[in-house]
Amino acid sequence: MNLQDLYQELIIDHGTHPRNCRTLCNPNCSAKGYNPLCGDSIQLYLSVEQEKIIEASFQGSGCAISTASASLMTEALIGKTLNDAQKLFHQFQILLTTEDSTPLDLGKLSALSGVRAFPMRVKCATLPWHTLNAALKNETKTVVTETIEKTMIETSNE
Amino acid sequence: MEHHSNIVPWQMLCERKKAHLKIIPMNQKGEIELDKLDQLLSPKTKLLSIIHVSNALGTLNPLKEIIAKAHALHIPVLIDGAQSAPHLKIDVQQLDCDFFTFSSHKVYGPTGIGVLYGKKHWLEAMPPYQGGGDMISKVTFTETLYNDLPYKFEAGTPPIGSVIGLKAALEYLQNLGFNAIAEHESRLLNEATEALLKIPGLQIIGSAKNKVGVISFIMDGIHPHDIGTIVDQYGVALRSGHHCAMPVMDFFKIPATARISFGIYNTSEDIDQLIKALYEVKRVFKK
Kindly indicate the confidence band of residue A37, based on its pLDDT and cuts at 50, 70 and 90: confident
Q: How far apart are CA B226 and CA A103, in angstroms?
A: 25
Supply the CATH number for residue A68's domain: 3.90.1010.10
CB contacts under 8 A, B 145-204 vs A, are none
Identify the domain containing residue A32 by its residue range: 3-157
Q: What is the ipTM of this complex?
A: 0.86
* Strands annotated E in B182-252: 202-205, 214-219, 239-241
The pLDDT of residue A38: 80
pLDDT-derived band at A25 (thresholds 50, 70, 90) equals confident
Q: What is the pLDDT of residues A97-117, one digit of tens each?
A: 887 656 678 899 999 999 998
Percent helix, strand, coil in chain A (nearest 5)? 55, 20, 30
| Cβ–Cβ below 8 Å for A7 and B226 | yes
Nearest to B229 among A62, A67, A118 (CB): A118
Model confidence pLDDT, tens digit, residues A39-62 = 889 999 999 999 999 999 999 999
Q: Which of residues 113-152 of A touch B (CB under 8 A)?
A: 118, 120-121, 124
Contact B256 A39 (CB under 8 A): yes
The beta-carbon contacts of B94-100 under 8 Å, at least 24 apart in sequence, are B95/B63, B95/B64, B95/B67, B96/B67, B96/B71, B97/B63, B97/B67, B98/B122
In this predicted structure, what is the pLDDT of residue A69? 97
The number of domains in chain A is 1
Q: What are the catalytic residues of B?
A: 244
Contact B208, B60 (CB under 8 A): yes
| Residue to substitute from B222, B223, B283, interface A, most A β-carbons within 10 A | B223
Q: Answer whether residue A1 shows pLDDT above 80.
A: no
Which of B222, B230, B255 has the CB atom closest to A39's CB atom? B255
Taken in order of first residue, the domains within chain B and their CATH numbers are: 4-129 (3.40.640.10), 178-279 (3.90.1150.10)
pTM, full prediction:
0.91
